[in-house]
Structure 1
Amino acid sequence: MKRSLVIFYAIIIYALAQLSWWGYMLFKLQPGRFGMIMGEGSIFLLVFFLGAYYMHKSLNKELKLHEQKKNFLLSVTHELKSPLASIKLLLQTIQKRDLTKAQVLDFIDKSLNDIERLDDMVENMLLASKIENHSYSFPKATFNLSNLVDNIVNRLQISKCDCNQQIINAEIEPKIEITGDKFALTSVVTNLIENAVKYSKPCQSLDVKLFKKEGKICLEVADHGIGIADAEKSRIFERFYRVGSEDTRNTKGTGLGLYIVKQVLDKHEATIKVRDNKPSGSVFEVVFG
């Protein structure tokens, strides 16, 4: 991609040099047509620079996307290796050591949590691919959203904190039903909560709220983590995009979670907004209208 930019700039310089030379030669041969030469030359330059500008913009966009894809592959490789290494170590420990039943069950629970993490990541990549290729139909049915959110909170509650402290404070209004794609909305809730946990300090609490307000269903996920800069709030839902501070570059992630969230919510005619939490962190607000 960088070579393409160099070639592009070289062609621009060559074209401008040729235009200047031919303009000079034409004026030298026919000095009485100076006005026509300048007028037509100006129009040509206007069209030329407009085309060059949009071509430059397109090449830069492709370059950034190429870099994001490269970072995505590196992130996926790391995220796959980490839980797989953990599962391998736990199973080898069970195999080689004489453990108590309680220890074996604890290791199995940890292995299952890592497997669920792998499953979530694979489902994310498959769903993102189907959305990008317009091959996912978003089949809709009526289901209990309260139960769905409660189940996801319970599943993510324990494994994210070494001290097994309850870190997700949930306020879920019961019996809230919604018509939508249960599989895709499961991914939405999971991604929002996992993101909140991911960008928070270990054992730091976060809040999940599901309620009805003025006939609309509202979901809020609030954390007290590092927050998101105002300049990046408009870009966090882009595919492969990851917040560019040093804090988040060292945080695991593929850059697909919030992209999936936005795409799924758009298909459900729902809105999502992000605002700063006080004194620190972010609040994601989803409204199903």
Structure 2
Amino acid sequence: MKRLWSRIALSFFILILTLVIVLWFFLTAIIKDAYTEMTRDHLVENGQMVSQLIATSNNFNDPEALQGLIQQFNQPIEMRYTVVDEEGVVLADSENDPSTMNNHINRPEIQAVIRNGSALGESVRYSTTEQINMMYVALPIIEQNETVGAIRTSLSLSVVDEALSRLWVSLSIVLGIMFLISGVASAMLARSIMRPIDNIMDATYRLREKDYSSRVNAPSKGEFGDLSLSINSLAASLQKQMKEIEENEQQLTSIISNMVSGVMLINEEGRVVLLNSAMERFLSQHKDNIVGQAYEKAGERFALSPHIKSVLENGLKVHEEVHSYFPEERVMDAHLAPYYGQGWQQKGVIVVLHDITNIKRLEKMRSDFVANVSHELKTPVTSVSGFSETLLSGEVTDEATKKQFLQIIYDESQRLNRLISDLLHLSKIEKKEMPLDLEVVDMTGLVHEVAKTLRNAVENKKTHLTLPEVSKKIYLQGDQDRIRQIILNLLGNAVNYTAEGGHVDISLKENINTVRLVVKDDGIGIPEESLPRIFERFYRVDKARARHSGGTGLGLAIVKHLIESHHGEIEIESREGEGTKITVTFPKDQNAD
């Protein structure tokens, strides 16, 4: 803005200087003309006066008397007077001897009066006699109504030039002062004009730098005041709009960032411009390594590249199920659609991935559960139906055989009852329809109590059972019946899946806030691939042996839910053929955060 101020001031200076120069030349021309006219009038007046004196004195024909008369005007008046006759002969001169002077008939002013009969003759030229520029004015000398000669008055133009020089100096000083005053005034005017403009430009510059709190605070009047009010109104509107935009952006960013679905935006050039944290997690890459890259790099994980290319080229939505197998298997429900800018011009592609891995897993588990339940129910039902039909046919007459068949029917019905009871029990636990009956539980005593109920199985298999010391009491808050069921199931599995003469160890470890129950055996163990599924319903590592043992396949699933209802955790470590170690961690206080 300083350059604009200087340009305005310079423009004023040039304009004023031009006006001063034009005025100077105009005034000097007028003054010169006026001064010249005044000098000519002065010469005419003096010439007329001398002409009248000559006419009244009757000395025209007496050269000596005429010379004496003319010489009287030499000193007081700086004009030169010359009298010539009608032939141009110089009769008298106020400064020189007439006899030495040339004939003046060829002088322009003399010719105008004597030969042309003009009432006035004038001329400006260089005088060879005086060797200076002179102004000459000639008037006729009339006697008896006839022109008998001419009186010429002359004046050196140096006098005029000196007077004009003094006048020009004075005029130059006056105009110079006027120029300086006008220049200072123009600079002040330019500065006063630029001050509100500077304030306005400063405010608009800050607005351009996204400082929307900027306002024009300097008071202004007139158009600048109206402009300041308009800019302040615009700044207030911009500030409000930007605040709304920032709030919307924050809301949108928060929504996108906290979405469990992955979102990725690809521009029309095929480069990634945005992705959220969920998409980073799905792609196993940080956004800094993806943003700005071609979509092929981002899409190779789930084979999205062909779908992205299709949307870019055809502008049609795509809905596909995509898979990834590294580092773990993931199933994604992919939605791809074009997004548009102004005028509905396609600007790129938006990709949304929903992780349906757990849904697919649950669907598979549900399918497996239905199949397992059907299979588990089918076996006892078939046995009961088959043996009952045989007995009803009357073909079996042997009492021992009948008793055997009835025993099988009873056993299978009991097994069916246990299966249904476990299913109902598990369903209630999952629906949290069985609230905990909290009390202080003696874990050491409870472990020994459960061990007594399994004494026959332990003795039959000659299992070496190691229990925690009775004297070392460990207590926690919990539902005693459910904890008993947990210990019974874990200890029963350890005994059942341990070879005859094997070892089963149960230990309790107390920390500040937790109690750990550890059940360890040296039995058949669990294959590594089966460990992730060991807590699934009806899942059995050795199905034949598990069914023979009377298990329903729901025990560990129930145990896990009972532990979780106590806010506890269960961990399992096992090697096939070496044994299994199960660790259950309970909090001492169920009301603790």
Contact residue 172 and residue 210 of structure 1 kept, 8 A: no
- 1:171 maps to which residue? 468
Q: Output aligned runs, 1:152-231, within 5 Å.
A: 152-162=450-460, 165=462, 167-172=464-469, 174-231=472-529
Provide the rounded CA distance (Å) in 2 between the counterparts of 1:50 and 1:157: 53
Matching of residue 67 in structure 1 with residue 341 in structure 2: no
Q: 1:280: how far off?
A: 0.7
Q: Give the letter aligned to residue 465 of structure 2.
A: I
Q: Output aligned runs, 1:24-173, within 5 Å.
A: 39-41=314-316, 43-46=317-320, 50=333, 57=360, 60-73=364-377, 124-162=422-460, 165=462, 167-172=464-469
- 1:15 maps to which residue? none
Q: 1:168: how far off?
A: 1.9
TM-score normalised by the chain length of structure 1: 0.61
Provide the rounded CA distance (Å) in 1 between the counterparts of 2:514 and 2:560: 18
The 3-state SS of whatever aligns with 1:50 is strand
Q: Give the letter aligned to residue 370 of structure 2.
A: H
Q: After superposition, what is the alpha-carbon deviation per residue over 1:73-122, rounded to whole angstroms, capped at 9, x for unaligned? A: 357779x9xxxxxxxxxxx99xxxxxxxxxxxxxxxxxxxxxxx999878
Q: 1:278: how far off?
A: 9.6
Q: After superposition, what is the alpha-carbon deviation per residue over 1:160-199, rounded to whole angstroms, capped at 9, x for unaligned? A: 4436x35322124532111101111111000000111121
What's the % identity of the aligned pairs? Answer: 25
Mark the structure with the bigger radius of gyration: 2
Provide the rounded CA distance (Å) in 2 between the counterparts of 1:207 and 1:273: 16
Q: Return 5+ residue gaps in structure 1 as ranges.
A: 1-34, 81-91, 94-116
Q: After superposition, what is the alpha-carbon deviation per residue over 1:227-249, rounded to whole angstroms, capped at 9, x for unaligned? A: 11222222211222222677657
Aligned length: 222
Q: 1:270: how far off?
A: 1.3
- 1:113 maps to which residue? none
Contact residue 271 and residue 288 of structure 1 kept, 8 A: yes
Structure with the bigger percentage of strand: 2
Provide the rounded CA distance (Å) in 1 between the counterparts of 2:479 and 2:557: 17
Q: 1:63: how far off?
A: 2.3
The 3-state SS of whatever aligns with 1:179 is strand
Contact residue 223 and residue 277 of structure 1 kept, 8 A: no
Q: 2:534 aligns with which of 225, 236, 249?
A: 236
Provide the rounded CA distance (Å) in 2 between the counterparts of 1:274 and 1:241: 15
Structure with the bigger percentage of helix: 1
Q: After superposition, what is the alpha-carbon deviation per residue over 1:49-92, rounded to whole angstroms, capped at 9, x for unaligned? A: 938x96993654432221122234357779x9xxxxxxxxxxx9
Contact residue 528 and residue 576 of structure 2 kept, 8 A: no
The 3-state SS of whatever aligns with 1:282 is strand
CA RMSD of aligned residues (A): 4.2
Q: Output aligned runs, 1:243-262, within 5 Å.
A: 243=541, 251-262=549-560
Q: Which has the higher contact order (CA 8 A, sep 6+)?
A: 1
Q: Give the letter aligned to residue 223 of structure 1.
A: D
Q: Return 5+ residue gaps in structure 2 as ranges.
A: 1-309, 323-331, 335-354, 385-398, 401-414, 588-593
Contact residue 206 and residue 222 of structure 1 kept, 8 A: yes
